[in-house]
Amino acid sequence: METIVVATLSGFALVVAALLTYLTAQMTSLRKRLDATERANHLLWVYCRKLMDHIYRGLPPPPPPADDLDHLFGPEA
CA–CA dist 19, 26 (Å, integer)? 11
72 pLDDT tier (thresholds 50, 70, 90): low
pLDDT in tens, 33-54: 999 889 888 888 988 899 999 9
Taking the domains of the chain in order of start, what are their residue ranges?
2-73
Residue 65: predicted pLDDT: 73
pLDDT in tens, 12-31: 999 999 999 999 999 999 99
What ranges make up the beta strands (E) of 1-77? Answer: none
Write down the mean pLDDT value for the chain. 87
CA–CA dist 36, 27 (Å, integer)? 14
- The length of the chain is 77
Spell out the residues 6+ positions from residue 65 whose beta carbon is closer than 8 angstroms to its own.
Answer: 43, 44, 46, 47
Name the residue with higher pLDDT: 2 or 77: 2
